[in-house]
Amino acid sequence: MKYPGSAECQRLAFLLEEALARESRLWKMPLHRNASIQGTDISPSQHDEAVLWLGELCSRFKFYPETFALAVSILNRLLAVVKAQPKYLRCITVTCLILAAKTNEEAEMILSVGDFAVQSQCNCSPAEILRMERIILDKLHWDLYIATPVDFINIFHAMVMSSRPHILDLLPQKNPSRHAAFLTRQVQHCMACHQLSQFKGSTLALAIITLELERVTPDWFSVFTDLLKKAQIDSVEFIRCKELVDQYLSSLQLSSLPNMVYIYDPANHDLMAHHMKFKPKEQEFPNPVNYRRKKINTHVKVMEVDDFYDGFVYLYNEGMTAPETGQSADINACEKGLELGSISPCPPLQTPEI
């Protein structure tokens, strides 16, 4: 691996500055009140289930982790500014993923709206998805891209590897792209927790990488303070986020889950980790103090590090190839779908009352 020099360090600092500026301008979070998201009837557990479903769809369609993170960010921003009912959450969720895919994915990776509706099994018609797409774009002022926790984890990880390359020797894999993929998997798990969705992506990413630095190097504090200064993150907010992340990831026991089995899929020669289904006692995630005692309903696929590895190797000159599937969305179909808006059951979304 060729480590970045001073010019690359300056480029990373510029990317971080740009990401922080965009996050500061666009970031919004759903406010949870009385067991539901403020201004909606959507409960926190329903929000978390929607995010888990997004992860399953991204795995099915071979989308980048950045696409998943952007879809979750679009969903959270929308739920922060509109009223929505649970029966429309599935349509909203799949539409957020389509918009994120159009933003991040190559054209050949994007299915038509009709094919997406069928293969995602979202129980929505193409006309409903197209109408919801226009609603989301209108409510978010056609400005979808925001720096996500995955973007920040990539930047922070590259900064650590460039300023302190000796840390690579302390990693079990001794492979920076696999390590970045491992951290990205942790980010995706955390984005499926409604309590952690209350933090900015930069704060969440810094908390995750700091916990990892604590694990691998005794010099973690100097690295952390350098990142904290560059990211200009409030220390009190960061400490609160870090404690919750630590409790949440510990509860998941990512390294060795007792109820995890590995299933070989001959279609793509990947090992996918699945959790055995069980019924939790409660619908919602517990309070932070109860994280270690509460079982988490993880009935959807958990993507392993190898599922992300191919998306990171190009960052470290290790080469990559893109799979071929699907076709681009039809813009004319979108216009046609708007004309059929009267037949859609989706109601107009409204700004919540304060």
65-85: pLDDT as tens digits: 999 999 999 999 999 888 888
Q: Which residue has the higher pLDDT, 281 or 63?
A: 63
pLDDT of residue 5: 57
Distance separating alpha carbons of residues 10 and 141, to the nearest angstrom: 32
The greatest distance separating any two alpha carbons of the chain, rounded to the nearest whole angstrom, comes to: 62
Considering only CA atoms, which of 81, 80, 72, 74 is closest in space to residue 50?
72
Where in the chain are all domains bearing CATH 1.10.472.10?
28-145+324-343
Is the pLDDT at 262 greater than 50, yes or no? no
Q: What is the DSSP letter of 3?
A: P
Q: Which residue has the higher pLDDT, 304 or 264?
A: 304
Neighbours of 210 (CB within 10 A): 23
CATH number of 28-145+324-343, picked from 1.10.3720.10, 1.10.10.10, 3.30.160.110, 1.10.472.10: 1.10.472.10
pLDDT of residue 19: 93
| 32, 34, 37, 43: CA torsion to nearest 10 | 120
